Amino acid sequence: MDHLDETSVEELQDALDKVERKKPTQRLLAAIAYKNGVTQTELAEWYDVQRRTIYSWLKRLDTDESLEQAVSDDKRTGRKRKLSETQQEEFEETVHKSPEEVGIDAPAWTPALAQEYLEETYGVEYSIPSCRRLLKEAGLSYQKPRRSAAEADEDEQEEFRNELKKSGGRWTPP
C-alpha cells in the first residue's frame, strides 16, 4: 500500500511550518523523507522505532482532516484522582506537620505511613509509589539520616543510632 499518494511534499512542508511539538514534527519529517524515496525500514532505523510505527505515522496522514491534526495526538486526561482537590489540600497541610501533631506515633512521614493515613482518613487506597508521588507533590523531599560528627558526645551518638534504627529514611518538609 502506497502512502501519501494524494499529498504533496509542499503540503507536508506547509504543515511542518504550523506544528510545534516534537512528535508531530518527527511524523511530518518522516513523511517528507518517505515522499522523497526513503523506505519505511530506513526511516525506522533513523528514528529508532519499529517499522510498524513508521507505517502508523504514514497511515494517519491518509485522512480527510488537516495534516496538522492528523500528526498531533489527542489530549489525554489521565486517570481521575482518588482525592478531591479539597482532600488533596488537607492532606498536603497535614503532611507538613509532624505525625505526632496529627496524633500518629511516628517520628516522620513515610510512604507507608501516608498510605495508612489516606486509607483511614479518606477511605482511599494508594500504592507505596503513589504515596511517594503524593508526598513529593506536597513539597516534601526524601531525607536520609546523616551520620553524626565523630566528636559528638557518646550519649548523643547512641541516641542517634537508636533513632536511626527506629526511623530509617523519612519524608520531611524541606
Cβ neighbors of 100 (< 8 A, separation 6 or more) are 106, 107
Give ∠ CA 68-71-75 in degrees, rounded to 5: 95
Q: What is the mean pLDDT of residues 121-126?
A: 94
pLDDT over threshold 80, residue 156: no
Within 13 Å of residue 5, how many CA atoms lie on the same side as its CB?
2
Is pLDDT at 93 greater than 90 in this prediction?
Answer: yes
Give 14-73 pLDDT, tens digit per residue.
888 988 888 889 998 999 999 999 999 999 999 999 999 999 988 888 887 888 888 887
Question: Which has more confidence, 114 or 61?
Answer: 114
Give me the residue spans of the domains in the chain.
9-71, 85-172
pLDDT at 91 over 80: yes
User: What's the grid cell of residue 170?
Assistant: 523519612
Which has the closest alpha carbon to 15: 23, 24, 6? 24
- Quick one: cell of 33? 523523507
pTM, full prediction: 0.46
| More confidently predicted of 70 and 125 | 125
Q: What is the DSSP string of 115-153?
A: HHHHHHHH-----HHHHHHHHHHTT-EEEPPPPPPTTS-
Output the pLDDT for position 89: 93
Percent residues over pLDDT 70 in the chain: 87
